[in-house]
Amino acid sequence: MGKEKNENVIESSLKRKYKLQAKDVNVFYGDFQAIKEISMDIKANSVTAFIGPSGCGKSTFLRLFNRMNDYVDDFRMEGKIFIDNQNINKKKVNVELLRKQVGMVFQKPNPFPKSIFENVAYGLKIQGLKDKTFLQERVESSLKQVALWDEVKDNLNKSALALSGGQQQRLCIARTLAVEPSIILMDEPTSALDPLSTAKIEELIHELKYKYTIVIVTHNMQQAGRISDYTAFFYLGEIIEFDKTNKIFTNPEKKQTENYITGRFG
């Protein structure tokens, strides 16, 4: 009895190190199993990259952390997902509150057909925050964090759709930052952008990690190598290897990982 209690105490203090955790997760879409027995611990203030061929479950797994899969019809999950030690799938969890702590940036920039200001302020307004000064300050600081402020500060009322693709994506990131999440999930955020914009956003991710925990799905291995601290290699719904990025790219444990990294498949 006493021994078990000790183990539990040790286990939970270990848990506290981890911002995000997955335990024995299986995901099914109807009969199809998209995720097979995945467990993972992600540290706070790190950048973790998910790599692997298309359709291997990276996006699905990413979306478990902000429960965006809830909208898919046949979705079914087994296992547990923890954020700050809390099981996010418990009935009492307020999903909307969860999503304010866990932000998401999508593959194709999706600004609302509203003004730049309204886009960034959206997340705050739906929380009922109306104070004009507060909103203006928050919008400004968010746009500054994504290095967009100088470019748009005189045009905050212009439509967000008038911005270039790269600017729109940075706007979407600013929109996410405005609600002050602690975790940012990014689902191939630069795959629809030109190299220059991609570089700007990678630079941004570098800076953001000091304040946020970032998980990024990417098809671009070089990108994973450049910006991430940890990398997980997904294949057919399983994690083949999850380790420090350095190790994965220079001295992977598994042959499959090595084959993928060196381009022998996928």
Partner 1 sequence: MNNIRKNKIKDQAFKALGMLFTLFGVSILVVLIYNILHIGFTRISWDFITSLPSRKPEEAGIYTAIIGTLDLMLLTVIFAIPIGVGAGIYLEEYSKKSKLSSLLEINISNLAGVPSIIYGLLGLGIFVRYFNFGGSILAGSLTLSLLILPIIIVATREAIKAVPPSLKEASFALGASKWQTISNVVLPSSFGGIITGIILSLSRAIGETAPLIVVGAMAYVPFVPHSLFDAFSVLPMQIFNWTTRPQQGFAVAASAAILILLLITFIMNGIAVYFRNRWQKKLK
Residues that bind partner 1 (CB under 8 A): 66, 68, 71, 73, 96-100, 103-104, 106, 108, 110-113, 122-123, 126-127, 172, 175-176, 179
Q: Of the two residues 97 and 162, which places its CB atom closer to partner 1 in the complex?
A: 97
Q: Of the two residues 119 and 231, which places its CB atom closer to partner 1 in the complex?
A: 119
Closest contact distance (angstroms) between CB of 121 and partner 1 is 11
Q: Of the two residues 126 and 196, which places its CB atom closer to partner 1 in the complex?
A: 126
Q: Of the two residues 14 and 129, which places its CB atom closer to partner 1 in the complex?
A: 129
Q: What is the dihedral of CA 241, 245, 249, 253, to 10 degrees?
A: -30
Q: How many other CB atoms sit within 10 Å of the CB of residue 194?
A: 11
- Give whole-number Cα distances, 128 to 31, 49, 123, in Å: 41, 34, 9
Closest contact distance (angstroms) between CB of 126 and partner 1 is 5
Residue 227 near residue 216, CB atoms below 8 Å = yes
Q: Of the two residues 100 and 209, which places its CB atom closer to partner 1 in the complex?
A: 100
Closest contact distance (angstroms) between CB of 14 and partner 1 is 30
Q: Which residues contact 157 (CB under 8 A, 6 or more apart)?
A: 115, 116, 117
Compute the distance between CA of residue 148 and CA of residue 167 in angstroms, rounded to an integer: 7
Closest contact distance (angstroms) between CB of 114 and partner 1 is 8
Compute the distance between CA of residue 151 and CA of residue 167 in angstroms, rounded to an integer: 9
Q: Of the two residues 212 and 249, which places its CB atom closer to partner 1 in the complex?
A: 212
Give the burial class of 71: count Cβ atoms within 10 A of its Cβ; 0-12 exposed, 13-18 middle, 19 or more buried. exposed
Closest contact distance (angstroms) between CB of 210 and partner 1 is 23
Angle between helices 165-177 and 132-145 in degrees, nearest 10? 130
Compute the distance between CA of residue 117 and CA of residue 158 in angstroms, rounded to an integer: 8
Closest contact distance (angstroms) between CB of 100 and partner 1 is 4
